[in-house]
C-alpha cells in the first residue's frame, strides 16, 4: 500500500502543483485540495498509468478521500 499512496501523492503534486499537501491525510478529499472534476480525472488516469492499472473510472465514483482512492488503486493492483 505504501507504493500506491506514494504514487497517488506524487500524482496529486504534479496535477495540483500549487496545493499545500503538508496536511494530507487519509480523509483529505481532492476537493479540499482544490481539485475540480478535470483535475480528479487527470490524477486518477496518471496514477493508474504509473501503477499499470486498467479499470473503469466509475470504480472511483464513491472514493472521495485520499485514503479511499488509494484503497481502490491498491485493490486493483492486487
Determine the CATH number of domain 2-77. 1.10.1200.10
Q: From the CB of residue 47, how many other CB atoms can be counted at a distance below 10 Å? A: 21
pLDDT in tens, 16-36: 999 999 989 999 999 999 999
Q: CA 14, CA 11: separation in Å to the nearest integer?
A: 5
pTM here is: 0.92
Cβ pair 24, 66 in contact under 8 A: yes
Q: What is the mean pLDDT of residues 55-76?
A: 95
Amino acid at each position: 500500500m505504501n507504493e500506491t499512496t506514494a504514487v497517488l501523492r506524487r500524482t496529486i503534486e504534479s496535477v495540483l502543483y500549487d496545493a499545500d499537501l503538508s496536511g494530507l491525510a487519509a480523509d483529505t478529499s481532492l476537493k479540499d485540495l482544490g481539485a475540480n472534476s478535470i483535475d480528479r480525472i487527470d490524477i486518477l488516469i496518471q496514477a493508474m498509468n504509473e501503477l499499470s492499472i486498467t479499470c473503469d473510472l466509475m470504480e472511483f465514483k464513491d472514493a472521495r478521500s485520499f485514503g479511499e482512492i488509494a484503497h481502490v488503486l491498491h485493490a486493483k493492483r492486487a
